[in-house]
């Protein structure tokens, strides 16, 4: 189509559950010219700008906007800087956007004319989502190291209501409730807790309690998000996964890294093959819990149990199925304080996961390929930026995705969105991924038991 004699208007938005407010805005925008381009934000960009609660996929939202007869072209907006280049690319005459954004896009005046249009009062996607798909009632199980952050971060996910807690120490619950008045109900009896209207639970307790707590919750038909690992024995792990499947509920390990916008983007970028054939993935995570005043009983759960899930997630997502595993562990007081886990995967690729609670190291990650490598600076598991690097240093480039808060909200939002969409597994952490990631811990347990047997 020849756009030469057209007056081109462009506007952007998420357009979740396309409503009257959006339609009014789009019509007002079109009236400013005679050719309307609409940029629909993609999921990853929305998450990186803090929009967590979008209920429709990019494709669904694009289809809804495309179906409007007065919209001439639909494009996808993938990152913050795209607007400026779109102005040039499409030779845009007017950039239009709702007046909730007044001032935010003045910088585009350098490229085109910027127009802020009146918003429609009294209607929003948030309100529609809450009316149409409802709010998930969620409860917390246990008072663990991430419970407070979980409560703080859940406040940003409008599709869940977190107002109930179970823990075995009633005094601790009372104290927690004083500091978090929104958690209105506290139980020290798990059966009573599960007997309420709670639809989903977040479990953060001593690792050895996970299996029983998850099992009961799944049997009661609740969706479960549980700190990793979800079980410490192979048969328990299998049982929980099939229980979730049979009861048609969601069971997800709380590996927050998997849901961060930058981590998801990293996996997408790797698929393009810029660093050639991937040969090795190396990832480290160490934490000196003693210095952070964690009780000795926490450390005694072992560095591998506490930390191995994170490096294993990266290694598994990039290299796939594991063939051989070797553990180089170090002991103190009867538990592992460090472990260097070397794994061999398909095509002889190698994974090196390093975890420690009794030694400190740089928590970075490197993915090495035949043509270059990706470097993720510490703390790589709170992925914000990563670098593609090559023999010719001039060719290097960088990706940066900010995330809000401590990163937990992306995982909570994904958990809620999966429940709303009736999904019983996540694309990011499929049941096969969960098994592969958890098995490292379970294999290490076997390895230790065999060694102990030989020594005695």
State the minimum distance, in angstroms, from the CB of residue 408 to ligand C2G.
22
Q: Is position 261 an interface residue for ligand C2G (rule: CB under 6 A)?
A: no
Biggest alpha carbon distance in the chain? 87
| Residue whose beta carbon is closest to ligand C2G | 98
Residues 6+ apart with CB under 8 A from 274: 371, 372, 388
Q: Does 41 bind ligand C2G (CB under 6 A)?
A: yes
Which of 15, 176, 380, 388 lies at the binding interface for ligand C2G (CB under 6 A)?
15
Distance CA 131, CA 124 (A): 11
Q: Yes or no: say if 386 and 399 are a contact pair by the CB < 8 Å rule.
A: yes
Residues 402-431 that bind ligand C2G (CB under 6 A): none
Q: Out of 21, 377, 379, 431, which residue is the one contacting ligand C2G (CB under 6 A)?
A: 21
Distances, alpha carbon 195 to alpha carbons 187, 189, 198, 301, 456, in Å: 11, 10, 8, 30, 47
The structure tokens listed for 54 are 């979008």
Is the distance from CB of 366 to CB of 375 less than 8 angstroms? Answer: yes
Cβ-based neighbours of 201, under 8 Å, separated by 6 or more = 138, 139, 140, 141, 217, 222, 223, 224, 225
d(Cα 383, Cα 400) in Å, to the nearest integer? 9
Choices 120-128, 169-177, 243-251, 385-393; region in contact with ligand C2G by CB under 6 A = 120-128
92 binds ligand C2G (CB under 6 A): no
Figure out which of the listed residues 69, 100, 392, 452 binds ligand C2G, where binding follows CB under 6 A: 100
**Cβ nearer to ligand C2G, comparing 21 with 320:** 21
Among 38, 68, 95, 98, binds ligand C2G (CB under 6 A): 98
How far apart CA 409 and CA 306 sit, in angstroms, is 21
Query: Looking at beta carbons only, is 354 or 409 nearer to ligand C2G?
Result: 409
Q: Which is nearer to ligand C2G, 25 or 62 (CB)?
A: 25
* Helix H or strand E segment including 4: none
Chain centre to alpha carbon of residue 90: 34
Q: How big is the site for ligand C2G, counted in residues (CB under 6 A)? A: 16
Candidates 12, 176, 193, 211: give the one binding ligand C2G (CB under 6 A).
12
- Residue 22 binds ligand C2G, judged by CB under 6 A: yes
Binding residues vs ligand C2G (CB under 6 A): 12-15, 21-22, 25, 41, 77, 97-98, 100, 119-120, 123-124
């Amino acid at each position: 189509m020849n756009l030469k004699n057209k007056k081109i208007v462009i506007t952007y938005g998420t357009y979740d559950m396309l409503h009257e407010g959006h339609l009014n805005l789009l019509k007002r925008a079109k009236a400013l010219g005679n050719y309307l381009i609409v940029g629909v934000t993609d999921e990853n960009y929305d998450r990186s700008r803090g929009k967590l609660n979008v209920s429709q996929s990019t494709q669904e939202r694009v289809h809804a906007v495309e179906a409007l007869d007065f919209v001439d072209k639909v494009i996808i907006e993938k990152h913050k800087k795209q607007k400026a280049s779109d102005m040039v690319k499409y030779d845009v005459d007017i950039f239009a956007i709702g007046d909730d954004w007044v001032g935010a896009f003045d910088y585009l005046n350098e490229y085109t004319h910027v127009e802020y249009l009146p918003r429609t009062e009294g209607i929003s996607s948030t309100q529609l989502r809450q009316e149409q798909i409802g709010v998930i009632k969620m409860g917390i199980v246990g008072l663990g190291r991430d419970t407070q952050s979980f409560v703080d971060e859940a406040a940003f996910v409008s599709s869940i209501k977190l107002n109930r807690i179970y823990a075995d120490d009633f005094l601790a619950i009372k104290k927690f409730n004083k500091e978090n008045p929104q958690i209105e109900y506290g139980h020290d009896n798990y059966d009573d807790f599960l007997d309420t209207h709670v639809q989903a639970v977040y479990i953060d307790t001593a690792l050895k309690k996970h299996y029983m707590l998850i099992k009961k919750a799944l049997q009661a038909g609740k969706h479960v998000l549980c700190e990793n690992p979800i079980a410490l024995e192979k048969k328990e792990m299998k049982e929980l996964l099939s229980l979730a499947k049979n009861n048609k509920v969601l069971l997800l390990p709380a590996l927050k890294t998997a849901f961060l916008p930058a981590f998801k983007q990293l996996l997408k970028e790797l698929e393009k093959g810029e660093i050639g054939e991937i040969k090795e993935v190396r990832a480290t995570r160490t934490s000196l819990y003693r210095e952070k005043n964690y009780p000795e009983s926490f450390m005694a759960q072992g560095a591998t149990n506490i930390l191995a899930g994170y490096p294993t997630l990266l290694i598994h997502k990039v290299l796939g199925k594991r063939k051989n595993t070797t553990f180089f562990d170090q002991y103190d007081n009867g538990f592992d304080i460090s472990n260097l886990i070397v794994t061999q995967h398909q095509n002889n690729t190698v994974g090196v996961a390093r975890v420690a609670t009794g030694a400190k190291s740089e928590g970075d990650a490197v993915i090495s390929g035949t043509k270059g490598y990706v470097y993720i600076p510490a703390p790589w598991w709170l992925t914000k930026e990563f670098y593609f690097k090559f023999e010719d240093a001039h060719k290097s480039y960088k990706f940066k995705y900010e995330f809000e808060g401590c990163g937990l909200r992306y995982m909570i939002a994904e958990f809620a969105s999966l429940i709303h969409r009736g999904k019983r597994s996540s694309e990011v952490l499929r049941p096969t991924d969960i098994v592969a990631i958890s098995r490292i811990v379970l294999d290490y347990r076997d390895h230790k038991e065999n060694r102990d047997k030989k020594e005695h």
